[in-house]
Amino acid sequence: MSERSVTHSTFVIERTYDAAPDRVFAAWASADAKSQWFGSPDSNTNYELDFRVGGRESWRGGQGGPTGESTFSYDAIYEDIVENERIVYAYDMHMDDLRISVSLATVEFKAVDGGTRLVFTEQGAFLDGLDQADRREGGTGTLLDQLGRVLAGETANA
């Protein structure tokens, strides 16, 4: 790769779930709960979560990329956790051995009549044209939709 570049982007995704904030927060706080909606059923065997400030989360797997044979990895560190209210974490994504993005994500849990409004904000640096903000936003939206299905009692990763 001869040309280096960085594209900065911020996106916000909101979802409202028919579940209390403590239940929605709990879906983020344990490996068993989060593995029901984060990723795909065949790739969550390489998933680890240490949910505490300073703790780490990692996931490896998936196929894709330009050749269809790339392996992706996600490595996060939790910077701030306020139970049932807020999670802030920094993470990077790799495709094989190439870092493709570095992001700061904030998840807010707000009580609304009969449920929770989740506000997900990501500020990302997308590197060398290997990843794009619109693809990340779309993928994150899909994960949050899967979370909604799990909270509603539907099949995980449907």
Q: What is the pLDDT of residues 129-144, one digit of tens each?
A: 999 999 999 999 999 9
pLDDT band with cut points at 50, 70 and 90 for residue 158: very low
Write phi, then psi, for 157 (nearest 5 degrees): 55, 35
Q: Which of 93-102, 107-116, 147-156 has the lowest mean pLDDT?
A: 147-156
Residue 65 has pLDDT above 70, yes or no: no
Averaged confidence pLDDT in the chain: 90
**pLDDT attached to residue 46:** 79
